[in-house]
A and B are shown apart, each in its own frame.
Chain A
Amino acid sequence: MEDMHLIDPLFEPAELKPSRDGFASASVEIGEKDQNVWVLTADVSGSTRANFFERKFPERFVQVGVAEQNMAGVAAGIASEGKTAFVSAYGVFSPGRNWDQIRVSICYNDVPVIFHGSHTGITVGPDGASHQALEDIAITRPIPNMQVLAPADAEEVRKAFWAAYESKRPTYIRTSREKMPVFTTENTPFTLGKANVYREGNDVAIFAIGPLVYESLKAARELEKENIFCAVIDMHTIKPIDKEAIIHWAEKTGLLVSIEDHQINGGLGSAIAEVLAENLPTPLKRHGMLDVFGESGTASDLLKKYSLDAEGIKKTIKEALPMKKR
């Protein structure tokens, strides 16, 4: 296995950070390097971390007010002028509220607008279901020209924005609000469209995204004690999907489990199922939000309630084992 340069020891993380912080560092780094990078926000500059860029480069920052549709259009106009525009808002509102603008003004025009959808997933916590973006992958994934990323921690988010910037393509990158372990490092590889394998195992291959990658690593460690060996794959890019990795692990293990902080319909699990069905039909257990809205609570309470913490993932894997292709 390639050295992924994760923190060592893996399960005593030195640092907790919300993954949205990765946008703060990336936008400022990229803004320093390239004068043609702009940032827009819709009245959420602090909570989405757009304010870091704003303080440094006010002349390339646009505050549009509570108007996500206009924000997407203005970003398209800015990007049409040879700029790269980062659009930073809550995932529920952007892409939730400006889908048509993303489809036509950005993706059909094929201009480099990169969306930072913060506050995604159930870990948004106390704000409740209205603010928990759980359908954002499903609505962005089918739009032509669009790339969709769901990085695992703040450091990977930083790299994801760099990769999206360098690609010059319309991109949606989802991040989360809650402080989570930063377990990848500066040296952890990141290639847009190429999954990262963090643990090998021959019994089950777990494909996870966002904060659930780390939870899956914890679950895999526990399962090992019961002689169940799981591979854990960080599927940071959902589109373009890494078909090769999916087929490789389907061949190797005969059982895949997808773990996502998103509805199971239309998200990571669906994307994997599409690849399997057309290439190598293999049992797949999709786990995530099971077609229900979330609710208020702390992030850890909610992860527990919806079986998305290490314990819940462990249980899911055990339930899935009988599905395994022999």
Chain B
Amino acid sequence: MYKKITSIKKLKLMANTIRQDVLKMLYEAKSGHSAGSVSLADVFTAMYFNVLRHDPDNSNWEGRDRLILSNGHVCPVMYSAMANVGYFPTEELLTLRKPGSRLQGHPHKGTLPGIENSSGPLGQGLSIAVGMAIVAKRAGKHHRIYAILSDGEHQEGQTWEAILLAAKFRLGNLTAILDRNNIQIDGFTEEILPLEPLAEKFRAFGWHVIEVNGHDISKIISACEETKAVYEKPTMIIAHTIPGKGVPFMEYLTEWHGKPPAKEHLEEALKYLEEERKLIEEE
């Protein structure tokens, strides 16, 4: 089993590495989704390097925690986390979206070890996670099911169907993490189709809700710990994030939702991230 990293400093350095990877991957691929991939670096670092009980050398280990990514378009951040934790060589990251690559533009179960589900069309992941959680709960298994969701996909009816069913079966072994970055392709969620009040909605649907700063790795870890003490309800962790977080010129801008960086953007971003890295090392 993977031995988790507990040092926050080391985790922050890993998140910094992942951000740099993601930008290089998207630049090489010449297409993809920048903002969400970059801003989820902290969540994915927390998950793959601390929260998940898993074994990169034995990706089908039955006792592993399952991580379902529902909004597949942010997969570069997952690929980088998975490569850095040991599922496959980091050299392979730059093959993203290229012919013959195991790193498909949206994840494909079966091509890459450790991918639990194919995704892309929004709103499908939570249902899969619910199915896995029902099986685990009825069999008395102790592994947990985590689902990473976008905020935009809460405009899909299927997400709410899954939310209802998870409450019906009191899936205490299910934790969903919602990337609340407020943007979607066409603009801000609250302008396209308002989602708020989200926390109240989940509570009304019978879920335990925790709101965290989605860039504070220690808070993400402790929220995931808290969910283990909630037995009769699924938990929704609303991770408030800044789209493009960590790359100042991308932050808050919806235009970065669905495009890759150009060469000058990449250079500027990497320069900034290297400076940030030095600051973390001095901590």
A105 at interface (Cβ–Cβ under 8 A)?
A: yes
Q: Which residues of B contact A85 (CB under 8 A)?
A: 131
Tell me if A69 and B158 are in contact (CB < 8 A).
Answer: yes
Task: Report how far A325 CA is from B116 CA in the complex, Å.
Answer: 53
Tell me if A104 and B121 are in contact (CB < 8 A).
Answer: yes
Tell me if B117 and A70 are in contact (CB < 8 A).
Answer: no
Stretch in B10-18, B46-54, B160-168, B241-249 touching the partner: B160-168
Tell me if B135 and A104 are in contact (CB < 8 A).
Answer: no
Task: Report how far A210 CA is from B83 CA in the complex, Å.
Answer: 50
A195 at interface (Cβ–Cβ under 8 A)?
A: no
Which chain B residues have a beta carbon within 8 Å of chain A's beta carbons?
Answer: 68, 108-110, 116-121, 123-136, 138, 157-158, 161-162, 164-165, 168
Tell me if A78 and B127 are in contact (CB < 8 A).
Answer: no
8 closest Cβ contacts across the A-B interface? A77-B131, A73-B127, A70-B161, A67-B161, A74-B131, A77-B128, A69-B158, A78-B131
Stretch in A57-65, A243-251, A281-289 touching the partner: A57-65
Tell me if B130 and A73 are in contact (CB < 8 A).
Answer: yes
Tell me if B131 and A108 are in contact (CB < 8 A).
Answer: no
A209 at interface (Cβ–Cβ under 8 A)?
A: no
Do A105 and B165 contact each other (CB < 8 Å), given the known contacts A73-B158, A76-B117, A81-B135?
A: no
Q: Which residues of A contact B130 (CB under 8 A)?
A: 70, 73-74, 77
From the candidates B68, B121, B157, B165, name the one contacting A74 in the complex (CB within 8 A): B165
Tell me if B127 and A101 are in contact (CB < 8 A).
Answer: yes
A3 CB → nearest B CB, Å: 42
Q: Which residues of B contact A81 (CB under 8 A)?
A: 131-132, 135-136
Most buried by B among A60, A75, A76, A105: A105
Within 8 A of B (CB), among A73-112: 73-81, 83, 85, 100-101, 104-105, 108-110
A72 at interface (Cβ–Cβ under 8 A)?
A: yes
Q: Which residues of B contact A73 (CB under 8 A)?
A: 124-128, 130-131, 158, 162
By beta carbon, the residue of chain A nearest B136 is A81
From the candidates A59, A64, A75, A100, name the one contacting B121 in the complex (CB within 8 A): A100
By beta carbon, the residue of chain B nearest A77 is B131
Q: Which residues of B contact A108 (CB under 8 A)?
A: 108-109, 118
Do A69 and B157 contact each other (CB < 8 Å), given the known contacts A74-B127, A80-B131?
A: yes
Task: Report how far A62 CA is from B127 CA in the complex, Å.
Answer: 13
Q: Which residues of B contact A77 (CB under 8 A)?
A: 68, 117, 127-135
B120 CB → nearest A CB, Å: 6
Q: Which residues of A contact B164 (CB under 8 A)?
A: 65, 67
Do A70 and B108 contact each other (CB < 8 Å), given the known contacts A78-B134, A83-B135, A104-B124?
A: no
Do A78 and B121 contact each other (CB < 8 Å), given the known contacts A73-B127, A101-B127?
A: no
Tell me if A76 and B127 are in contact (CB < 8 A).
Answer: yes
Tell me if B158 and A70 are in contact (CB < 8 A).
Answer: yes
Q: Which residues of A contact B162 (CB under 8 A)?
A: 70, 73-74
Do A105 and B161 contact each other (CB < 8 Å), given the known contacts A70-B127, A74-B130, A80-B131?
A: no
Task: Report how far A159 CA is from B219 CA in the complex, Å.
Answer: 54
